[in-house]
Each structure stands twice: as structure tokens, then as C-alpha cells.
């Protein structure tokens, strides 16, 4: 390795910071609205919700020790092992986009048509019904216990 | 307490206007940006479209129907749970 560990970690951190900036570029309006799509008399612009997140971390440490005995590795080897260190860096991120509405420009003017995510609503509805059912069962059981 | 504006930003941004025939559209979006030294989060959602036609402006809101439905369902669940708990507590009290 030609560069020292702190320099390596610093360089890595800078690169990961730049990568994070790229992930956070999802905040620009261009990420939300698509390019207009023309079809006959109609033009469509897709509006999507975008969520992006990322993070990274790095660390290094150093330690000193007596190292192996010179008889095992030689005078030079023992000196080299007097101080040692290690470090690492890592990160992760992701983004998610979902269409929210479609802007339709046609002969009748401009209209905003919502895009409904049936799966999302279905999951929420099932959770709601399950919670209500469990609560109702508990309430019924308690009513039976209270009743003489 | 001052708002940590550098860490959390709530911005309204407008995209490049799009002209189709005599209609000019300016898309508008709301972005929530959380920027920490080693992490970041962005939530960007479309909020409205400004329509300009013959010198007249109209603002069309973009509503996320899926989110509205989800919030309504969660609110209904919470309300049901709270009412049920209240009734159970009341019944317990009455039985004593």
C-alpha cells in the first residue's frame, strides 16, 4: 500500500460524500416530473414521488506492541511490526419512486389524473380489518367475562 | 430554539416550464431534505402544476390518493382501538 491509512480513509470518505450528494440529487424537480410524452393530440407528464436515502461510515485504529522476537523475523521485521493499524469504510443507499399522478394535456385542457396504488391500499385495509377484528374479539371476550 | 436549516430543509422547487401549444405548464414539487455529515434522506413529491393559458393562471393540485387512503385507514384503526379501549375501561369500571 503506497498511501497511509488516514489518507486512504479520508479519500474514501470524500468519494462516499460525493456519492451521497448524487443520491440527494433526488431533491431536484426533474426527478419528480418526467419529460413530456406526445401521442396524437395528447401530451402526458408523469409525476412521481421520490424517496432516497444513504449513509456511510469509516474508521481506523492503531496499536503498538512488542511484536515478534527478532530471532523469529529478524531485526528489521520486528521494528516494522512495532506499530500496526487497520481501518475500513462502507456505505449504502437506495432510492424509491412511485407514480402519483399523470398530467394530461389534451384538446379539453389540462387534467391531473391520480394514480392509485391498489396494493398499498389493500395492505393498509387488511391491516385495519385485522386490528378491528382482534379488538372486537377481545372486547367480546371481556364482555362475556363481565356478564353474570 | 433555532431550526437547524442546514440539517433539515423543506423546499418548494419548480421545474422548467413546458409549453405545449398555447398552454404553459410549470410543475411544482415539495422536497424534504435531511443532510447529516454521514447520511442523508430526501423525500420529493409533486405538489401542483401551474397552468398558464392566454394570460390566465390556474393552479392544479396533485393529490396522492394512495397516501390519503392509507392515512384514513390508519386513522380509522386508531379511532376504533381508542374507542374500544375506552368502552372496555368503562365496562370494567361499571362491573365493580
pLDDT digit string, tens, across residues A87-111: 777 888 888 889 999 999 988 889 9
Write the ipTM.
0.79
* Cβ–Cβ gap B33/A57 under 8 Å: no
Contact status, residue A46 vs residue A99, Cβ threshold 8 Å: yes
pLDDT digit string, tens, across residues B74-94: 998 889 888 888 887 887 787
Cα–Cα distance, A19 to A12 (Å, whole number): 10
Cα–Cα distance, A18 to A70 (Å, whole number): 46
Nearest CA in chain B to A29: B15
* Cβ–Cβ gap B25/A131 under 8 Å: no
Q: Does B59 touch chain A (CB under 8 A)?
A: no
The enclosing H or E element of A120 equals helix A118-146
- Distances from the Cα of A117 to the Cα of A19, A44, A127, B65, angstroms: 31, 19, 16, 8
Q: Does B25 touch chain A (CB under 8 A)?
A: yes
Amino acid at each position: 500500500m503506497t498511501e497511509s491509512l488516514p489518507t486512504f480513509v479520508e479519500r474514501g470518505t470524500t468519494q462516499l460524500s460525493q456519492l451521497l450528494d448524487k443520491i440527494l440529487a433526488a431533491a431536484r424537480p426533474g426527478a419528480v416530473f418526467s419529460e413530456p410524452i406526445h401521442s396524437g393530440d395528447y401530451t402526458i407528464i408523469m409525476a412521481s414521488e421520490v424517496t432516497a436515502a444513504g449513509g456511510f461510515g469509516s474508521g481506523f485504529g492503531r496499536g503498538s506492541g512488542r511484536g515478534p522476537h527478532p530471532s523469529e523475523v529478524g531485526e528489521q521485521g520486528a521494528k516494522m511490526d512495532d506499530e500496526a493499524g487497520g481501518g475500513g469504510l462502507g456505505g449504502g443507499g437506495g432510492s424509491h419512486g412511485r407514480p402519483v399522478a399523470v398530467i394530461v394535456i389534451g384538446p379539453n385542457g389540462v387534467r391531473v389524473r391520480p394514480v392509485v396504488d391498489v396494493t398499498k391500499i389493500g395492505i393498509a385495509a387488511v391491516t385495519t380489518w385485522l386490528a378491528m377484528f382482534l379488538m372486537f374479539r377481545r372486547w367480546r371476550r371481556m364482555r362475556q367475562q363481565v356478564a353474570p | 430554539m433555532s431550526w437547524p436549516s442546514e440539517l433539515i430543509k423543506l423546499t418548494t422547487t419548480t421545474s422548467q416550464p413546458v409549453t405545449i401549444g398555447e398552454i404553459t405548464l410549470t410543475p411544482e414539487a415539495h422536497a424534504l431534505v435531511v443532510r447529516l455529515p454521514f447520511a442523508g434522506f430526501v423525500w420529493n413529491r409533486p405538489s401542483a402544476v401551474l397552468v398558464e393559458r392566454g394570460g390566465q393562471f390556474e393552479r392544479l393540485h396533485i393529490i396522492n390518493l394512495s397516501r390519503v387512503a392509507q392515512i384514513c385507514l390508519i386513522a380509522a384503526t386508531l379511532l376504533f382501538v381508542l374507542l374500544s379501549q375506552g368502552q372496555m375501561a368503562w365496562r370494567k369500571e361499571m362491573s365493580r
